[in-house]
Amino acid sequence: MMMIMTSENDYLTKLKRAREKLPSHVFEKSRFEIPTADVFPEGNKTWITDWNRILKVLNREEDADHLAKHLAREFATSAVEERGRLVLQGKFSKKLINRELETYVKEFVVCEECGKPDTKLIKEGRILIKTCEACGARVAVR
Ligand SMILES: [Zn+2]
């Protein structure tokens, strides 16, 4: 029995030493990268041409309306989904749209606790709760 304990301790010591030799970034959390939307102006409209891809990356295919309404409200315009693309009334630069997308992702998609984008928006009464499926964190959002 004592022999086993000793060899186990030896093993753990060796493991600890091996881990200490590894570069520190190996243990860092992988960082989620916010997608950049492709933006195409057409007359007095602005298209987000890869809308479906954005929704997929953000895991928001079921909550597309929330993001579309958010963009429409921030730009004081209307937003309509059309065959996998989003069309905004008015002219908005790629930079402006992506800055707003980034703001949205930080507030409504990425988990504050673990930094992962594996969240869902769940309505509880009049409150919207961002619930993380990776770590279980729950945060009320506006
Ligand atoms: Zn989390």
CATH code for the domain in which residue 48 is found: 3.30.70.3150
In a domain? residue 2: no
d(CA 142, CA 139): 10
Q: Report pLDDT for 19.
A: 65
pLDDT, position 31: 75
Same-domain status, 103 and 130: no
- Range of the structural domain that residue 129 is part of: 111-142
Number of domains forming the structure of the chain: 2
Look at residues 82, 22, 1 and name the one whose alpha carbon lies nearest to residue 49. 82
Q: Is 10 part of any domain?
A: no
pLDDT digits (tens, 9 = 90+) for 80-114: 999 999 999 999 999 999 999 999 999 999 999 99
Question: Whole-angstrom Cα distance, residue 26 to residue 9?
Answer: 24
Whether residues 142 and 101 share a domain: the answer is no
> 53 with 92, same domain?
yes
Domain identity same for 134 and 95:
no
Distance in Å, CA 138 to ligand 1 centroid? 8
**pLDDT at position 24 over 90:** no
**Dist. CA 119 → ligand 1 center (Å):** 7
Tell me, in angstroms, the distance from the centre of ligand 1 to residue 110's CA.
8
Sign of CA dihedral 94, 119, 78, 73: negative
Distance 117 CA to ligand 1 centre (A): 8
- Which pTM does this prediction carry? 0.77
Statement: residue 127 has pLDDT above 80: yes
Q: Is the pLDDT reported for residue 59 higher than 80?
A: yes
